[in-house]
Each structure stands twice: as structure tokens, then as C-alpha cells.
Amino acid sequence: MTIKQRLFWSNIFMILIPAATALLVGAVCIGVFLIALLHGTGIGIRDLDEFEVLCTAITSEIEEKLEQTESLSNIKTVLDQNEMSLQIVSDGRTIYGSGQMEADSAMIEAVRMLDHEATIYHDDTMLYAKRIEAGNRNYIIYLTGVSKAVPSSLDLKSIIAGAIFIVFILVVLSVFLTNRILIRFVWEKIEQPLDLLSQGVHELRDGNLDYRISYDKQDEFLPVCLDFNEMARHLKELVEQQQYQEKSRKELIAGISHDIRSPLTSILAYVEGLLDGVARTPQAQEKYLETIKAKAQDLDHIVAQLFLFSKMELREYQDQKRILRLDQLLQETVMSVREEYGRKGLVIHLDTEPVLWNADPIQVRRILINLLDNSVKYKHKQQGQVWITLRKTEKGICWQIEDDGPDVEYEALSHLFDLFYRADPSRHDSHQSSGLGLAIVKKACEQMNGKVKAVPSQHGGLMIQIDLMKEEEHEQDLDCRG
């Protein structure tokens, strides 16, 4: 049951229970009041006239059976039914008595003064006295009864006031008890999830980002708990991302320091050699200057790569996309660099099919050159081989560049595109690579709505696979191997 439903029934019961209590108590009070009003508050004869009629009938019956007191049982029954007492006195002694009610001495004295022929009434007690003769003997019959007093207006007011007071007290009591029960009925539904949320907040505050709330009740707190778990998951991702960025920042600083120090050291050493006159001949001096120039170009390349990566990281690099023949662009680029890489000992093989694609030609060339540079730097043969293939797929295109250089451990494949990462040991050569090339390739592929991954090459080296997908399907991975 949801909290909304509990509140609804709580409000209903908060009205119904006190109302039902008031109606029940009121009905009981009205019943008592009606009984008191219709039948009086006493037990016995309704009024004096009724008492005299009943006494006259009883006296007549007694006169007929006076000599046979044992036959007065019928009279005793009538006396008991009407809460009356009978006393028959002869010669100053009681010869028959029935009932517990007795008239007080003042009433006895009053009827004696009236020669025992009277009916008197005092308070609620009525006394009937009659003298009769039977068998040459005188008898005095005393009949005593109590009247049913009809409530007076003062009594009615007291009854009504008492009933109202009782109803008020019981209604207040029922409201209090109902309120306590219903508060518990609603609060226990709120307290448990609040405790869970509070515990979750404390866990996150204490650094336990893996904590999740387990709550499966279908109420208003379920989406809150689910949102809390989602927030905890997102917070964990942010913290991990921040830690990763902090680690990357430290690695970036360390990598830049390491990669810049080597060419700077060489430049300083050759400059000092020139200043100290180590290179005495023009040929030696020219060689020193060419080395200084090459190291300065290395520094310029590192700075340019770092600047480009920073712009991509900050999303400040604007692609100049246009529809182009991607296969022709690759062919033109390979033709322009084939001779240069041939001098470096790298043979390039190109196998493409016609492909129209929306891409930035500068980014495409940059990706190809960086991957060729990577193969050149890590080749372990005098003449290395690189195979470039371009194929269309159902969901886009697949572009592969693989070499026959040293292989890479499986655990290192997923880290090759990390900033300043160098696989260890076969491709770890700080003098050859700045560690920025593959990171730039990954950023460029992401800007082209693609994905890049490294897998072992069938030629024994490394294969870089780039999956470029159609715009509506760029989040799906491709596999064009084989």
C-alpha cells in the first residue's frame, strides 16, 4: 500500500471511528433516557391510584382466604411481581407477612390515627391499611409498595448533561487513540525508507561509493531509492573519472617532462660542444647543427602534438567534414609518403575499395600518418611491412592498419591509446615515441563517430582497427576481420 493510500484511509478512519463511537454512545444514552422517561427510575407501582386499586383487589382476596393462610400463595405471587409487602396483624401480633419492604414508624402512626383505614404516600413509599373482620376476629392489613418515579425536568437535564459529557469524553478518547494508531500506521511506512536513505547518505559520506539501497516496495519511496542508487553510481563514476584525470594529469606532466628532457639535453650538449670547440672542422660543426635542428624539430613535433591533443580534449578542434572518396584520399596520402617511409625501412601495402564518406581529410591523414609513424618507430626488422585495408560494411566502413612488428601483450592492448602509455617491453622506447600519437588517433576517431581498438595482427605484429559507422548507427561496434 502506498503512502498516498495510507493517508487516504487514515483520513477516512479519523472521521469514521470517532463518529461511530459518538453514534454508539449516543444511541446507548438515548436508550437509557427513553427507558427512564417511559418507565421511571424506580421499580414498583406506577402511581397512587394504581396502588389503591391493586391493594383493594388483594384485600378482597385476603378476606376470602383469611382463615387459610397457606392458600395465600397466589397473593404472594402478585405481591412479588409488584414489589409489594403484606403484613396481617391480629390482636397486636403479626399472623402473616410477605416481602421485605416496611413502612417507617411515622407512616404507621399516621394510619393508626386514621383508624387503620387510609392510604398514605411519603417520598416514594406508599402504605395501605384496612381493618376487616372475619370469624369474630379483627384483622388489620398493611400493604406497602414503592412508586415508579417519573423523572422530573431536573432529572432529565441531569441525564442529558451526563450523556453529553460521557459522549464527549469517549469521542475525545477515541480521537486520541485513533490518531495514535493511524500515525503509527502511516509513519512506519515512512520511517523505514527514511532510515535507509539516511544510512545510504552516511555510507556515501564515509566513502563507501559501492553502497546501494535495497528497497522493493511499490510506493512513493521506490523511485527515490532508485534515484539514490543511480546517484551513487554516477558519483562513483565521477570520482573514478576524477581520479583517472588526476592520474592522467600526473602522467601528462611526467611524460612531457620526460619527452622534452631528452631532446633538450641533446641540444644543450651539442651547443656546449660547439662553444667548447669540440667540432673543429666545418663538417663536424655542420653535423652538430643538423643534430640540433633535428632535436629542435622533435621538440616542435611534441609541442604540436600536445597542443593538438589539448584542443581535442577541450573540444575546441572543429572538424571540416565533407563528402569525399575516402579510398582516393588514402591512395594519395600513401603515394606522397611511400618513398619517405621506404627510406626508413617500411614498405606500405594498400588495398581499398571505393568508399564515399563524410569526413575531415586532415583528420584522416593525421590518423594514417600517426599509425605509420607508430609502425616505423617500433619495427624490429630491417625492412618492416604495413598493410592498409579499407572495406565497406552493412553499418559503415572498416579501416585496418597492421604491421609485422613486435607483438604486444594482451593486457596492454586496451591501454595503448592512453596518454603517454607505452607497451612494455617490446614497444617501450622513450627515445622513439612521445606517447601522444595513438591518443590523438583515438580522439580523432571519436570525433569522426568511430571507434578504434588494437588487436594482434595475423602477421605477428599489431593491428589497429577503426570502425566508422553511419550517423544513426555510430554507437554500434563493427567487426570486419576475416
Instruction: Output DSSP code: residue 97.
Output: E
Fold agreement between 48-146 and 221-298: no
Tally: H helices and E strands in the chain? 11, 12
- What are 331-355's pLDDT values in tens digits? 999 999 999 999 999 999 999 999 8
Highest mean pLDDT among 16-20, 278-282, 287-291: 287-291
- What are 421-446's pLDDT values in tens digits? 654 444 444 444 456 788 888 888 88
Q: How confident is the model at residue 400 (pLDDT cuts 50, 70, 90)?
A: very high
Residues in CB range of 83: below 8 A, 6 or more apart: 43, 44, 45, 99, 101, 145, 146
318-473 classified as CATH 1.20.810.10? no
Q: Bridge-partner residues for 358, per DSSP?
A: 323
Fold adopted by 48-146:
Beta-Lactamase (3.30.450)
Q: How confident is the model at residue 47 (pLDDT cuts 50, 70, 90)?
A: low
Is residue 352 within 8 A of residue 330, CB to CB? The reply is: yes
Q: How far apart are CA 197 and CA 98, in angstroms?
A: 82
- What are 133-186's pLDDT values in tens digits? 877 778 888 888 877 655 555 556 776 777 777 777 877 887 777 777 767 766
Q: How confident is the model at residue 1 (pLDDT cuts 50, 70, 90)?
A: low
Mean pLDDT of the chain: 78
Here the cell at position 447 is 570525433
- Cβ-based neighbour number of residue 52 at 10 Å: 15
pLDDT of residue 36: 58
Q: Is the dihedral of CA 317, 323, 327, 331 positive or negative?
A: negative
For the domain made up of 221-298, the CATH class stated in words is: mainly alpha
Distances in whole angstroms, Cα of residue 224 to Cα of each of 188, 190, 201, 238: 17, 12, 13, 20
Domain ranges of the chain: 3-41+152-197, 48-146, 221-298, 318-473
pLDDT of residue 71: 62
